[in-house]
A and B are shown apart, each in its own frame.
Chain A
Amino acid sequence: MLDVLTGFVSELRAAGLPVSLTESLDAAEAVHHVPLEDREALKYALAATLVKSSTHWKAFETAFEVYFAMRGPQYDIDADDGTDLDRPDDDADLPQGEGQGGRQGGGGGEGLTPEELAEMLFRALMNANEAQIAALARQAVGRFAGMEPGRPVGGTYYLYRTLRNLDLDRVLERLMESARQEAPDGTLTPLEERLARDEFQSRLDALRKEIEDEIRRRLVADRGTEALARSLRKPLPEDIDFMHATREELASLRRAITPLTRKLAVRLARKRRHGRKGPLDFRSTMRHSLSTGGVPVDPKFRYPRPAKPEIMVIADISGSVAAFARFTLHLVHAISSQFSKVRSFVFIDGIDEITRFFETADDVADAVHRINTEADVVWVDGHSDYGHALSVFWERWGEEITPRTSVLLLGDARNNYHATQSWVVQEIRHRARHVYWLNPEPRAYWDTGDSVVGEYATHCDEVFECRNLRQLEHFVTELA
């Protein structure tokens, strides 16, 4: 057990979770107090001692599933006994049968045709029979995933193959159809319809998770724990690279950014309040000295009024860097109370001011949506042209830059070999307080190919590499 535990802890550390020595000692002690045959209890005991942040839960769960996959009691023998061919004749009454029956059917189900399997799955989903859903998921994997021992492909490939064969979208429609028929008057009210859909959706999600688990279990058996843990390791939300995030990762980024902005706002507000004290407030000091007989024991200070910077954000929202620009805009606007004014501009090859979207919409997601649909950012062909965008900016809004303005330029500076017009940045710098450039590309790629960030960099105060939320957060903190 100790070996497994130390292996598990080092896997967590490798995945980026900060697990200290005392925490792993706690975990070892906690394990003594839970019944080892209870897998869920073990999971929660380890989670309580090792994971100290809700964003790390996902990474923990993945590692846990891998390390303790084959050790659950119910998976001991019947996990991959696909050879067990005594297909029982009681398949007919399976849908009514309880867990154990379903599992036997799952084990012996090699002889089922895909249609029968689909039918059973449909009925199991309809009745929300969890044990049976699990058994069928196991069988579906055995049948459709086509797993080959030793083949070095990731679990997602098998997952995709299984799901394609099951065609869950159609299953959902069928479920909805039969729910409609079951209703007393043949139709559902809109509300019921929606609720039923959500209900089935959550059952399908459970099925999907079941299938993922099954694939993972089989992979562990095939390749061994450590190797698999390494290949399943995913970056934590704050370390996800903006440029290469998958759709799923983007969703988790979006979820992560709201609490992040809230934390940032609180922190900055506090910093302001508790920072350096202002000049001596003579009147207040004298007033308070009365209670000590006129001796000014406790000097009072005025509240400091630190200058709030004005921010202008100029963001490239062409395909490759769109996600990055969105997150930055989101973050800057969420803490706009920390700045005296925030104005944002987006461009591809044309440029448009989008501050109005943030003003009218009270929801940042809404604003981002409207930017994507309404802003006028395409001039000729919809390929990034930094030079043109910047010179138009200078023409139209250059006058409004004041010595209190900080200008943020966001983009990878991949200019498609257009003219750079870097004199604009130079002019901006003359007028503005600071000019910063945030580049979502890794530093190593700068000035390769059509990237001209170096040319702009000479006129900026500083250029930052800003590839993930952690770096972005750091920059924004420094800025305010």
Chain B
Amino acid sequence: MSDVRSRLADAGYLADDGIAGVVYLADRLAKPVLVEGPAGTGKTELAKSVARVTDSRLIRLQCYEGLDESKALYEWNYKKQLLRIQAQRVVADGDGADDTSAGDRATGAAGSGETRSGVAWRDLEEDIFSEEFLLARPLLEAIRSQESVVLLVDEVDRVELETEALLLEVLSEYQVSIPELGTVRAERIPLVFLTSNNTRELSEALKRRCLYLHLDYPSLERERDIVLTRVPGIGAELADQVARIVRSLRTLDLKKYPSVSETLDWARTLVVLGVESIDAEQAKATLHVLLKYRSDLERASKELTVADAQA
């Protein structure tokens, strides 16, 4: 487990015990991981880092309202099928001339013609519903892949409740049933990450099949380390100050707390501005990188001035 952790750290992702443990278990139990938490705490980044660590291809399915089977699982290449039928007809017309002359000679012409076209139809049907005409979408692609893959189903809370059901077969059995072809099973079981911003409650059925990981804002030490690893050229002192100020802000009653990615943006801003140690004025001037609501900004700067008054 500590191995998982150190390897993730090598890939530039600082995991805490909980994250490393869940990733380790996901690999061992071959179960998908449902990652939930506030925006900007590194949910998507986790999947990407795991892909980097395991040298796998990352297949990403971005969810949105109105996502359906044909965009998530597979789709028949309708145009190519049409072309195939057209081509068949051209060939059949060539044959047709022979057909009629043969039919004239034989007695039960109509009957044999029918069986012949029946056979042709079945051939054609088998033909146009074969792998050749199948367009694999992310889920099927992840299942069929020969190399090792990490499947990331991003923002799964955006799809409707009914569409979630699409995922269930893939997640629990690692297989996709295509009526015309039968069942496609996974050659290698992919590591699956689902992320959710918690805009709605996911269905029990989906939750039951997953390991659950709640990613919250990191602890002070971890955030400092994250800033240190992800922002080039930042001093240890500044990183420490950044992390501490952000923690203070998160204790306030804000509409939207500064996320880790915003902390990083802020740290970068400060580095670019050539700040080595923050004072209240500089903090106030650059707060808009961290906070995105006017009322939050006002409250935060008020807090800083309240501290002024106390001193």
Q: What is A's interface to B at a CB cutoff of 8 Å?
A: 18, 20, 22-23, 26, 29-30, 33-35, 38, 40-41, 44-45, 47-49, 51-54, 57, 187-191, 193-195, 198-199, 202, 259, 262-263, 266-267, 270, 274, 362-363, 365-366
Contact = CB atoms under 8 A, between A and B. Distances in A.
A262 B211 CA distance: 25
A267 B36 CA distance: 18
A195 B21 contact: no
A30 B204 CA distance: 20
Contacts of A23: 208
Interface stretch (B75-83, B100-108, B124-132, B248-256): B248-256
B25 A274 contact: no
Interface in B254-311: 255, 278-280, 283, 293-295, 303-305, 307-308, 310-311
- Listed residue (A33, A44, A259, A263) with the most chain B CB atoms within 10 angstroms of its CB: A44
A260 B1 CA distance: 35
B311 A187 contact: yes
A198 B305 CA distance: 16
B254 to A, nearest CB: 9
Contacts of B199: 262-263, 266
Nearest to B206: A52
Given A189-B280, A193-B307, A34 B160 contact: no
Contact of B279 (A29, A191, A202): A191
B17 A44 contact: yes
A29 B21 CA distance: 14
A199 B294 CA distance: 27
Contact of A26 (B29, B201, B245, B307): B29
A86 B66 CA distance: 71
Given A190-B307, A198-B247, A274-B160, A263 B280 contact: no
Interface stretch (B43-51, B141-149, B184-192, B212-220): B212-220
Contact of B17 (A41, A274, A365): A41
B212 A190 contact: no
B22 A270 contact: no
B212 A48 contact: yes
B298 to A, nearest CB: 10
B200 A266 contact: yes
Nearest to A40: B17
State the 3 A-B residue pairs at the shortest beta-carbon distance, nearest first: A190-B307, A44-B21, A52-B207
Given A44-B22, A363-B255, A18 B304 contact: no
Given A199-B244, A263-B200, A30 B18 contact: no
A23 B28 CA distance: 16
B62 interface: no
B56 interface: no
B208 A189 contact: no
Nearest to B19: A44
Contacts of A18: 204
A190 B310 contact: yes
Contacts of A41: 1, 17, 21
Contacts of B34: 52
Interface of B: 1, 17-18, 21-22, 24-25, 28-29, 31, 33-34, 36-37, 65, 160, 198-201, 204, 207-208, 210-214, 216, 220, 241, 244-245, 247-248, 251, 253, 255, 278-280, 283, 293-295, 303-305, 307-308, 310-311
A195 B253 contact: no
Nearest to A263: B200
B200 A198 contact: no
Given A57-B214, A198-B248, 19 more contacts: A26-B31, A34-B21, A41-B21, A47-B18, A47-B212, A48-B25, A49-B25, A52-B207, A54-B216, A187-B311, A189-B311, A190-B307, A190-B310, A191-B304, A194-B307, A195-B244, A195-B245, A198-B244, A270-B160
A48 B21 contact: yes
A45 B294 CA distance: 41
Nearest to A52: B207
B278 to A, nearest CB: 7
Nearest to A365: B253
A360 B309 CA distance: 27
A44 B19 CA distance: 8
A472 to B, nearest CB: 16
21 contacts: A18-B204, A30-B28, A33-B25, A34-B21, A40-B21, A44-B17, A44-B18, A47-B18, A49-B211, A49-B212, A52-B34, A53-B207, A54-B198, A189-B311, A190-B310, A191-B307, A193-B310, A194-B303, A198-B244, A365-B253, A366-B295
Contacts of A189: 279-280, 311
Nearest to B34: A52
A33 B253 contact: no
A26 B17 CA distance: 20
Given A44-B17, A270-B160, A198 B251 contact: yes
A362 B295 contact: yes
A183 to B, nearest CB: 12
A366 B278 CA distance: 30
A362 B293 CA distance: 10
A274 to B, nearest CB: 7
A45 B200 contact: no
Contacts of B308: 190
B8 to A, nearest CB: 15
Contacts of A270: 65, 160
B220 A202 contact: yes
Given A45-B25, A51-B212, A195-B245, A259 B198 contact: yes
B214 A33 contact: no
A399 to B, nearest CB: 35
Contacts of A194: 248, 303-304, 307
B212 A34 contact: no
Contacts of B28: 30, 33
Contacts of B213: 48
A474 to B, nearest CB: 13
A47 B304 CA distance: 38
A48 B211 contact: yes
Contacts of B295: 362-363, 366
A23 B206 CA distance: 12
Contacts of A30: 25, 28-29
A263 B201 contact: yes
Contacts of B1: 34-35, 38, 41
A76 to B, nearest CB: 21
Contacts of B29: 26, 29-30, 33
A111 to B, nearest CB: 35
B18 to A, nearest CB: 5
Nearest to A30: B25
Contacts of A199: 244
A26 B29 CA distance: 8
Contacts of A29: 29
A199 B241 CA distance: 11
